[in-house]
């Protein structure tokens, strides 16, 4: 059994549940009947991690109590750290409304040892607690004696290549391609990798991810709450004489502080504010079974809401394998101009609307009200296809980050990465008029 699997224990299931967990090496580590007794079991410190204001209504109130060997306040002062290609400056270059696609090499793996976040696009700003950012991550070395926490918001992580063994204050999670995980605001975590690794990150600040409302669908469907997995308590009582580095992402900048112990010293915890993961194959697909192409909102896995009803700060949407059975219908995605911004990514396979021009590890951004849709080859094939029940997207997993914000592309995305496909617009040039006023 690989060593990295030896430390994993079964997960707890349920989205947003009140969980309790204690490391079996210290039974009874959770205080009975109260949160912060005068003296905690085993001489532990009680520390609350709040993910919402104290006075939020109960359905949206998020917090967990952690019982740890030392409180997280024991560290040296923070000092600035160079951000590299991580940015929240949306004005570094002029706006560009054109359709943007990144070749697979947008997530090109570096030579030598490297870890890094590369910001592709975003809008809003973390100080005002309203906005999002989309990052590309590439890494081939593990975070040894280093951890990161995000003061600005939540990370939704989508690995595209390579496993991620993520250690958090709540326990460990193994996250593989075709799975996602969410590390919520303020949670410290480290990532161990096992070779060349890359993927996508959706960062939201100002809201937490929720399951979408189901409306007339009923009580069941889409991403079911029981399929979300939460780690169980695991701790290490480890001193780090050379210094342990804590990295804070704060107001869009990076800072480091030193401490002489591992932050993963939480022996027990309870609460509803946790990291979690989800396997995309668990998604219960709902689709049109009579005619027409349903809107892609029926494929929403998670949503981060705004204060406007039905309008998302960000949605995470997938396009999984499914049956296509609609009669007298153009079955691929329709041509579209949207009041939302759409970033598409591909974990594996071939995206149905652009089978040749969109590769795993790449991405595309269709900005607010910029036209987009199937390429010419897809349109011609789908318009002439014999409409029989057919499997769609077998062996494929495409996804979309959709936002009500107008996203700006960074200088790295448009220029520095040198991975922009400047001929993307040409995929629509072969479209021709079929209009004939004499033939209905």
Binding residues: 336, 342, 351, 372
Please, what sign has the CA dihedral across residues 328, 334, 337, 339? Answer: positive
Which positions are catalytic? 293
Task: Pick the closest to residue 279 from 235, 228, 230 (CA basis).
Answer: 228
The answer to whether the beta carbons of residues 362 and 398 sit under 8 Å apart is no
Distance in angstroms (rounded) separating the CA atoms of residues 247 and 257 = 7
Tell me the three state secondary structure of residue 4: helix
**384 phi, psi to nearest 5 deg:** -110, -5
Distance in angstroms (rounded) separating the CA atoms of residues 14 and 32 = 23
**87 phi, psi to nearest 5 deg:** -150, 155
| CB within 8 Å of 132: residues ≥ 6 apart | 122, 123, 124, 202, 203, 204, 205, 304, 313, 314, 401, 403, 405, 407
Could you tell me which residues are annotated as the binding site for homogentisate? Answer: 351, 372
The answer to whether the beta carbons of residues 218 and 311 sit under 8 Å apart is no
Distance in angstroms (rounded) separating the CA atoms of residues 176 and 174 = 7
């Amino acid at each position: 059994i690989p060593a990295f699997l030896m430390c994993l224990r079964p997960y707890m299931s349920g989205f947003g549940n009140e969980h309790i967990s204690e490391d079996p090496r210290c039974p009874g580590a959770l205080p009975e009947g109260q949160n912060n007794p005068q003296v905690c079991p085993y001489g532990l410190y009680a520390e609350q991690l709040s993910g919402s204001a104290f006075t939020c209504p109960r359905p949206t109130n998020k917090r967990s109590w952690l019982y740890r060997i030392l409180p997280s306040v024991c560290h040296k002062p923070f000092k600035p750290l160079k951000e590299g290609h991580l940015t929240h400056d949306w004005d570094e270059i002029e706006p560009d409304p054109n359709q943007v696609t990144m070749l697979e090499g947008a997530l090109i793996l570096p030579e030598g040892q490297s870890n890094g976040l590369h910001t592709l696009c975003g809008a809003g700003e973390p100080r005002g607690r309203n906005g999002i950012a989309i990052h590309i991550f590439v890494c081939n070395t593990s975070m040894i004696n280093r951890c990161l926490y995000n003061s600005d918001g939540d990370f939704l992580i989508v690995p595209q290549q390579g496993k991620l063994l993520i250690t958090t204050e709540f326990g460990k999670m193994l996250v593989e391609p075709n799975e996602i995980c969410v590390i919520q605001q303020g949670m410290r975590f480290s990532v161990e990798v096992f070779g060349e690794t890359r993927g996508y990150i959706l960062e939201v600040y100002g809201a937490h991810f929720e399951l979408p409302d189901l409306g007339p669908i009923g009580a069941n469907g889409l991403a079911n709450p029981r399929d979300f997995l939460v780690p169980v308590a695991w701790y290490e009582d480890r001193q780090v004489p050379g210094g342990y580095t804590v990295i804070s992402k704060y107001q869009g900048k990076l800072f480091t502080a030193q401490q002489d112990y591992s932050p993963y010293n939480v022996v027990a915890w309870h609460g509803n504010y946790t990291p979690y993961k989800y396997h995309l194959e668990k998604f219960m697909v709902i689709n049109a079974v009579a005619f027409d192409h349903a809107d892609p909102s029926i494929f929403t896995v998670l949503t981060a809401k705004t204060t406007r009803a039905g309008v998302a700060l960000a949605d995470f949407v997938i396009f999984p394998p499914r049956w296509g059975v609609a009669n007298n219908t153009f079955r691929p995605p329709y041509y579209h101009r949207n009041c939302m911004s759409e970033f598409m990514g591909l974990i594996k396979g071939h995206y149905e609307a652009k089978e040749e021009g969109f590769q795993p590890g790449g991405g595309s951004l269709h900005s607010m009200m910029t036209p987009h849709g199937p390429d010419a080859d897809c349109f011609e094939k789908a318009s002439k296809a014999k409409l029989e029940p057919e499997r769609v997207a077998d062996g494929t997993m495409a996804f979309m980050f959709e936002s009500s914000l107008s996203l700006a592309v960074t200088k790295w995305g448009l220029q520095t990465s040198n991975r922009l496909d400047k001929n993307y617009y040409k995929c629509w040039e072969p479209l021709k008029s079929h209009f004939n006023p004499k033939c209905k």
